[in-house]
């Protein structure tokens, strides 16, 4: 989707990855190489004008190496903070944000200490490499500690306490190299089995009244990181205001609705930002919009969805429709 947005602005994209994927079908070039292959990374960097990344589960080292040859946006600093749960919580809290009660967990003993401090129920999450519900274990009581520690294979983690919330929502913004910021209306996010199922805009009133505070925090995060590109912060809407959940230094699944639902999509604004262009209008194209993810076998509904007059279908070209795998999405704009 980034490559398509770039092409519409007249740019050619070149993909670097260890294996082929859907982006190869719509890009001008592809280099198959390992993330730690210094020689291949250097050759790739010399052939492009700017580098960006579309997920955070890669080490910061290769991104830092690329930055010695070519501009990289977002910066390696944004990646380093966002890919570690403890680091991102500390970073956001230092800027005035509130997170759910949490503690670092580095050993089986510190897990017991964290449980004693936070209580149960709680969630043990790996500090890195967790997304869409992966790397997470719920603890109903302290008796679950051994099984939870074994489930994450003793990896560095954080223990998070539960918060009472009405809804989940996200703030998506684009920040240009000149410091300009364009923020999208916050979508209501609904999850199924830990995976985003549906995003709806406009969000309910409980979210709308917390939008200003959450968006201001997201702006402070973007500025502190000197972030260039799209940045996403996820929140819980609680009776006491927005509670920060996690961040992503990239375009986000909860912003896929912007392709048809916003004047300028998150993908186009990301390309605009990293290419030094003015940011585009983030207003809605209709009264509202709903984006539904097609997860696993949901993709088999493609023919039915194409028969709907108001459905905009996006299939990602992934080969295997495994359970829990996002295969595409459908967007409906209310005029």
Contact 170, 186 (CB under 8 A): yes
Tokens 């300009």, residue located: 180
Q: Which of 47-61, 161-175, 195-209 has the lowest mean pLDDT?
A: 47-61
Contact 56, 249 (CB under 8 A): yes
Residue 131 pLDDT exceeds 70: no
The whole-number pLDDT of residue 130 equals 62
Other beta carbons within 10 angstroms of residue 46's beta carbon come to: 9
Residue 132 pLDDT exceeds 80: no
Tokens 């194209």, residue located: 285
Residue 129 pLDDT exceeds 80: no
Q: For residues 256 and 306, what is the distance between their CA atoms, to the nearest angstrom?
A: 18
Are β-strands 188-192 and 181-183 bridged in parallel, bridged antiparallel, or unpaired?
A: unpaired
In the chain, the percentage of residues whose pLDDT exceeds 90 is: 91
The whole-number pLDDT of residue 56 equals 84
* Counts for the chain of helices (H) and strands (E), in that order: 12, 15
3 state SS for 168-210: EEEEEEEECCCCCEEECCCCEEEEECCEEEEEEECCCHHHHCC
DSSP-derived secondary structure for 29-90: EEEE--TT-HHHHHHHHHT-S-B--S-S-S-HHHHHHHTTTS-BSS-HHHHHHHT-HHHHHH
Domain locations in the chain as residue ranges = 2-82, 101-161, 167-334
Task: Provide the whole-model pTM.
Answer: 0.94
Q: For residues 271 and 91, what is the distance between their CA atoms, to the nearest angstrom?
A: 26
The whole-number pLDDT of residue 135 equals 81
Contact 270, 230 (CB under 8 A): yes
Average pLDDT over residues 18-28: 92
Q: For residues 225 and 181, what is the distance between their CA atoms, to the nearest angstrom?
A: 13
CATH number for the domain whose boundaries are 2-82: 3.40.50.20
Average pLDDT over residues 218-242: 97
CA dihedral 75, 59, 254, 273 (to 10 degrees): 20
CATH class for domain 167-334? alpha beta
User: 85-94 and 211-225 are packed helices; what angle lies between their axes, rounded to 10 degrees?
Assistant: 110
Average pLDDT over residues 59-79: 92
Instruction: Identify the CATH homologous superfamily for domain 101-161.
Output: ATP-grasp fold, A domain (3.30.1490.20)
Q: Which of 54-63, 88-97, 253-262, 276-285 has the lowest mean pLDDT?
A: 54-63
Residue 290 pLDDT exceeds 80: yes
The whole-number pLDDT of residue 133 equals 57
Query: How many CA atoms lie within 13 Å of 217's alpha carbon, on the beta-carbon side?
Result: 27
Tokens 């890669």, residue located: 58
Residue 273 pLDDT exceeds 80: yes
């Amino acid at each position: 989707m980034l490559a398509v947005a770039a092409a519409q602005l007249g740019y050619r994209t070149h993909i670097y990855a260890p294996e082929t994927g859907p982006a190869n079908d719509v890009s001008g070039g592809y280099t198959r190489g390992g993330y730690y292959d210094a020689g291949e990374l250097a050759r790739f960097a010399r052939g492009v004008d700017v580098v960006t990344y579309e997920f955070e589960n890669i080490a910061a080292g290769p991104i830092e190496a690329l930055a010695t040859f070519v501009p990289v946006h977002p910066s390696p600093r944004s990646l380093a903070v966002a890919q570690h749960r403890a680091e991102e919580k500390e970073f956001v809290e230092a800027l005035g944000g509130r997170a759910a009660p949490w503690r670092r967990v580095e050993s089986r003993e510190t897990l017991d200490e964290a449980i004693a401090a936070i209580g149960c129920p709680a969630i043990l999450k790996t500090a890195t490499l967790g997304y869409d519900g992966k790397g997470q274990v719920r603890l109903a009581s302290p008796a679950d500690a051994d099984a939870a520690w074994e489930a994450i294979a003793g990896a560095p983690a954080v223990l998070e306490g539960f918060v009472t919330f009405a809804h989940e929502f996200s703030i998506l913004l684009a920040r240009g190299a000149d410091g300009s910021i364009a923020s999208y209306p916050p979508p209501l996010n609904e999850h199924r089995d830990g995976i985003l199922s549906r995003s709806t805009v406009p969000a309910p009133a409980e979210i709308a009244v917390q939008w200003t505070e959450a968006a201001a925090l997201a702006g402070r995060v973007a500025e502190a990181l000197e972030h260039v590109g799209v940045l996403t912060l996820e929140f819980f809407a609680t009776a006491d205001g927005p509670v920060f959940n996690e961040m992503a230094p990239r375009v986000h699944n909860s912003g896929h609705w912007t392709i048809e639902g916003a004047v300028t999509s998150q993908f186009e604004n990301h390309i605009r930002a990293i290419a030094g262009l003015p940011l585009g209008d983030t207003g809605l194209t209709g009264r509202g919009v709903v984006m539904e993810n097609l997860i696993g076998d949901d993709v088999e509904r493609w023919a039915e969805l194409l028969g709907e007059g108001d459905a905009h279908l996006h299939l990602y070209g992934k080969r295997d429709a495994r359970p829990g795998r996002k295969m595409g999405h459908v967007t409906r704009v209310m005029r």
